[in-house]
Structure 1
Amino acid sequence: MSGMDLSGLSVQAYGLSQPQDYADQTIMQDDPYNPMTSSWTCEYMISGAGLIEVSTTSSESIDIDLYLIHDSDGDGIPEPSEMIASSAAPSADEQVSVILPDDGRYWVFVHGFGIPDGTSTFDCTVNIINGNDLMVSDTPAGAIMADTPCDFTVTYTAPDMVGEYDGMIFIGPTSAPEALSVPVTITTTETQPPIPPVPVPTLTPHGMVLMIVLLAVAGSVALRRRE
């Protein structure tokens, strides 16, 4: 419900997907004044994503910086002018995020700003929320008057693999569709598979027909073969 009139309501859903975790990655002492010398990089092709979120941490006393680069000119070469997000705190705990990123090629650069021993390790998590397992329906059409409740429906298709999956829903007026972001987490658990039918052994020799007759003889069941 909004306190102002809206010309229309936009609801967009993305996901479900899982973060990519990189543990115990090697980082070197890089040129502290040139992020393009980053000794750890990773490339991604992204399409239809709602969010890119990257974070780093380390148990070591090191200073690393984090950069996200988008290949905006499509030449396949990362350039300083194409950096769209950065985090340069004086530690290893860094984080960057971009909502509703353009499709295309992206690079994550982890830059060894201050590595006292010359080489160290860090952990990195890259969460790219995309996919069409979350679906929106019954979105109100047309203008919405102020203080008027409105409903819509979000459904999802559970992934086949067991685990925890992330999604994102953006809600807002058509002029600012990302005004409100609602994170979604779906946890799938293993279900008991159906019991397969027990195969019936073949009792019929080649060229012979069996007639199974149930005979209640002294509480037993007998098979009578007719040749």
Structure 2
Amino acid sequence: VTNVPWSGPFEITPKPLDGNVSNQTLYDEEWISGATRWNWRAESGDWRFLTVDWPSEWDTGGTVILDVDWDDNPYTDVDILWLDETPHGYSADDPDSYGDSTFSITSRSANNHAGSGRHNWGTYTDTSREVFTVPALAGTHQMVLHTALHGVSTNDNALNISVGYVAAEADGFSQSVSDWSEGNGVDAVHVVSTVPMDVESVSAYGWTQPIYFDNETAYQDVSSDKMTSSWWHNFTVDEVSELSISMDAYDSADLDLFLFYDDNEDGIFASSEEVSRSWTGSSAENIQLNDVENGLYAVAVHGYSVSGEVQFWIDIDLIGGDKLVITEQIELTNTEINSIWPNGSETLAGDTPSSAHQINLAFERPETAGIWKGEVEIILVGGIKLQLPYAYELLEIDPVVEFSVPENMTQTNDTLPIEIHAIDTGIGFTLDDLNWYAINNQTTIPQANSVEGIDTTFTQHNLTEIWNSGNHFAIPENISFREVWINSTIPSVEQWHDYGANITDKSGLFSEAWLSVNYDITAPPLFIYGIPEITNEPYVNLVIQTEPGVSIFQDGAPIPNL
């Protein structure tokens, strides 16, 4: 049981030391003391615990900024520990005693414990201020402060504590492209924050494709031999700056994670080619690799302690590429912020941003369809890194082929033009994969009057001679067509002409169309029988003989039911 005094982002500053008794208390989060004994254990020093509820409306894909400073005092060092609520390991044994959950450290300041309760000085900013970021996850968390070094002559050290939130606006940081000709472009996105952002630099990377596996199976392997790992996955890396791998099992087990690099390029991984590992006492493993070399890698999941088999998930994230670039970064003024977000930002749960930056981007289309990942990296003054994902979805939709003219089931006494139009807005198609064929033996395919094409680089091609020759392979393999028009004329043969056309693009997607046209220039015969010369009957039965499908008129009016 714990009190939860804060919800979402907040900021607290120390009350002044004055004659106001209400400002004086034995415990205050904004004041931290030294230790009564500095030669004990790593826990030596004073501690403050701040429990924070992070509502779901603040879980919009952003990042929490933890910021504690102690006003230009280089001899004090306050560490920050961030704890997430996690299932209690002994809850199943005695739920009444242990409850459902506990708190576990997920991020922290550098642990500079030098032994016997003594700590070396060190902050991420190299100043009298500790700042770092943690993922924004809905739920209950604890922010713990620890005096690693107490460098003031007074009993207490004043602290300014801030828990801020920075995120990308929901309507930016993504592209979805179905027309590949529009795959390159520019974008303007906004980054908003509840705290001031002193931006030092902005950079971008793209594109890479993350690798996700779910419900994979691991078994008990030889515990002392990583090379007996029961699960392996090979992948190739090209121009990647960061590689991160995370995994966990769905049930109780101890799985270890290993990463190998094919250093000698023989396609076989040896024990000596291990570049990183994660082997805690659980299955929650993580590997982070910077300055990644190009080449072939393998990730192995090793069953150190598994009862039979166990299911697990594993994510392989890559950051790199030069097809997403920053063209400009603009810090917005308060007037601009109030103009853009007069009613607050939904990304900030309706709050007006304390600071906002507009980032102008330029991007190029990836080579193949799929979901691609980019990243905008913001470095704040002090070296604090914010990593904001940028998603690019390149869609491959079905090609389309149609008989533009004439209309299907047309009956005519004119030799009408035929036009076939084929289009693929994605990867494109080859001329050999566009087919015009006869449905039956009575129909013949006429010569084309003209065939024009536009390839995926928007270069025009006159394809008439190649099409009529049937030598469609004469087009170089590296040319993919975006659109082709085939123009011809219905043969002057009195019959139904039944055609089909189909197209298969380079990704294997397929489309087809049909056309039936009746060409008839001969007037139908008409024979009428049973007309008496003289009759006194009010009705006369006539027999009319003609060809099927004709319309017969009497005195300008159609005769029904024929």
* Structure-1-length-normalised TM-score: 0.62
Residue 323 of structure 2 is matched in structure 1 by 133
Distance 1:18 1:66 in 2: 21
Q: CA deviation at 1:179?
A: 9.0
Distance 1:45 1:158 in 2: 20
Residues 53 and 97 of structure 1 are in contact (CA less than 8 Å); yes or no, is this contact kept in structure 2? yes
Residues 374 and 392 of structure 2 are in contact (CA less than 8 Å); yes or no, is this contact kept in structure 1? no
Mapped pair 1:201 → 2:201: no
Mapped pair 1:76 → 2:267: yes
For 1:156, give the aligned amino acid.
F
Q: CA deviation at 1:111?
A: 0.4
Distance 2:211 2:287 in 1: 15
Q: CA deviation at 1:153?
A: 5.7
What root-mean-square deviation, in Å, do the aligned CA atoms of Structure 1 and Structure 2 show? 3.8
Distance 2:387 2:328 in 1: 18
Aligned length: 180
**Bigger shift: residues 57-66 or 122-131:** 122-131
Residue 545 of structure 2 is matched in structure 1 by none
Higher helix share: 2
Residue pairs, 1:118-129, within 5 angstroms: 119-129=309-319
Residue pairs, 1:128-207, within 5 angstroms: 128-136=318-326, 154-157=361-364, 161=369, 163=371, 165-168=372-375, 180=385, 182-186=387-391, 188=393, 199-201=404-406, 204-205=414-415
Mapped pair 1:34 → 2:225: yes
For 2:291, give the aligned amino acid.
L
| 1:76-107 deviation digits (Å, cap 9, x = unpaired) | 33233322221112222111121230111111
Residues 250 and 312 of structure 2 are in contact (CA less than 8 Å); yes or no, is this contact kept in structure 1? yes
**Bigger shift: residues 88-97 or 151-160:** 151-160
Unpaired segments of 5 or more residues in structure 2? Answer: 1-124, 126-199, 330-357, 416-490, 493-562
Residues 242 and 289 of structure 2 are in contact (CA less than 8 Å); yes or no, is this contact kept in structure 1? yes
**Residue number among 275, 289, 292 corresponding to 1:101 in the alignment:** 292
Identity %: 25
Distance 1:115 1:166 in 2: 34
| 1:21-79 deviation digits (Å, cap 9, x = unpaired) | 22221211111122121111111121111222211122111110101111223333323
Q: CA deviation at 1:10?
A: 9.3
* Structure-2-length-normalised TM-score: 0.28
Structure with higher RCO (Cα < 8 A, 6+ apart)? 1
For 1:64, give the aligned amino acid.
L
Q: CA deviation at 1:161?
A: 4.7
Segments ≥4 residues shifted beyond 6 Å:
9-12
Distance 2:246 2:293 in 1: 20
For 1:120, give the aligned amino acid.
V
Q: CA deviation at 1:197?
A: 10
Distance 1:102 1:181 in 2: 24
Mapped pair 1:17 → 2:208: yes
Residues 168 and 181 of structure 1 are in contact (CA less than 8 Å); yes or no, is this contact kept in structure 2? no
Distance 1:179 1:103 in 2: 27
Task: Return the index of the structure with the highest Cα Rg.
Answer: 2
